[in-house]
Amino acid sequence: MLSAEVFQRQIAPLRCLEFSQTSLLLEAPLEFPLESFRKSFQGLVEMAAEQTVGAAPRLSFQQAKPVFQASHDFRANSGDIPPVLMNPRFTFDTFVVGGNSQFAHSAAKAVADAPGRTRFNPLMIYGGSGLGKTHLLQAIGHQIQSRFPEIRVRYVPTDDFKNQYIYHVQKNLVNDFSSFYRNQVDVLLMDDIQFLVGRDALQQEFFHLFNALHQSNRQIVLTSDCPPAELQGLEERLVSRFQWGLSVDIQPPDRDTREAILRNKAQEESLDLSEEIISYIAENVDTNIRHLEGIIRRLILEASIQGGDVTLRIAQDVVDAQVPRGSMRRFSPHEIAQVVAEYYRVDPSSMFAESRGTKEVSHARQVAMYLVKQLTQLPYKSIGGHFGDRDHSTVIHACDKVGKEMKDLASLRGDIEHLLKVLR
């Protein structure tokens, strides 16, 4: 259940322009934190829409036309930049910790317990979409606000930060914008920092903000879809600063973690699921947490429509609709390497050895690295860790080499096509 304040900030400003079984079009005000809404509240709106019309309409947004009036100026030096509210459900208590996220969770807890007083400044949490980065980021904010009410916490997705900046540039209030973030923020929680890429003026603004906060021991926590070194198009001086503290990754959840997530989400929604159903979903939906949450929302809808408990047959139908048959299932790096080693007739253990090995082993390892990068959401550093703890630059070289050789060598293209068929 959302509080009245959260509803007024995150739901009430949206205006419905079109609503049917196939389409839901909402109009968002110019200053509305749309990216934050997508991350934290879009699923709730989609579920409400499904329950209303008995189908899953396509949700889209339209930006309201800007109307600039002097009486509506966001004077940052008077604290009038509206806050981007955090999802009240995104706390440490509701975060399911697994082997894929244990290190990131520990680092986030340490920062929340002593903001600005650890060596984890900045803390960067990176990984693929839907794995829980935003959940951990907001959990840090909730715990700091609860334990240290005097500390001023500001959560903002980078896309919303960009929109705020553009608005203040248009209103000739950039100095007020800069002053607000440098003087009225003690903990900055910045989501999806990769959206700074390609925006030179915004990078410069954030560079000076980062320096001001860090020099005064104020806490900075960032999330990204990849580690700092892989943020192509970001100024080197920013990349360097992002590496001052600690970077931790979140990987796709394993089978046990997926089952724990499903139990937790079902309990939150008061949905009764048998262990057989939980096991079936965890086995067949192995992409990310957001996908699992989508399955739970669909099951809630099906249960309300059919007026009974969720059966295994219902779960199978929902999963079949979400995960088309014949699509490639996700393999671990170890499984991919095993398939490649068998194809090239090399010892599978040699693929993971620290030594380079024979020419045949080296080639097979490079092909395996290439396929792992293509078929998983793992960053280069994590892939290197699976193959004899190799450096991320080694993985980049392997992927580039295989990619270039495939253009010239029909035999290698044939190898890759055959391996992909085996992995289907």
Question: So what's the pLDDT on residue 190?
Answer: 95
Strand order across the beta sheet in which 58-63 lies: 15-19, 23-28, 58-63
Contact 159, 84 (CB under 8 A): no
- Separation between Cα atoms, residue 274 and residue 277, nearest integer Å: 5
Between 20 and 227, the higher pLDDT residue = 227
Pick from 42-51, 160-169, 355-364, 389-398: least confident: 42-51
Domains of the chain (ranges, CATH numbers)? 4-63 (3.30.300), 70-250 (3.40.50.300), 255-322 (1.10.8.60), 333-422 (1.10.1750.10)
- Separation between Cα atoms, residue 75 and residue 90, nearest integer Å: 30
Pick from 3-7, 338-342, 361-365, 404-408: least confident: 3-7
Q: DSSP state, 163?
A: H
Q: What angle do CA 134, 135, 137 make, to 5 degrees?
A: 60
Q: Which of 140, 154, 146, 221 has its CA nearest to residue 185?
A: 154
Of the CA atoms within 13 Å of residue 378, those in its CB half-sphere come to 26
pLDDT at 340 over 60: yes
pLDDT at 137 over 90: yes
User: Helix, strand or coil for residue 99?
Assistant: coil
Query: Mean pLDDT over residues 170-181, rounded?
Result: 91
Question: So what's the pLDDT on residue 56?
Answer: 66
Question: So what's the pLDDT on residue 254?
Answer: 84
Question: So what's the pLDDT on residue 31?
Answer: 60
Between 167 and 78, the higher pLDDT residue = 167
Most confident of 47-51, 120-124, 298-302: 120-124
Q: Which of 237, 239, 233 has its CA nearest to residue 199?
A: 233
Helices 312-322 and 289-306, axial angle in degrees (round to 10): 130
Residue 247 token pair = 């970077």
- Separation between Cα atoms, residue 128 and residue 147, nearest integer Å: 30
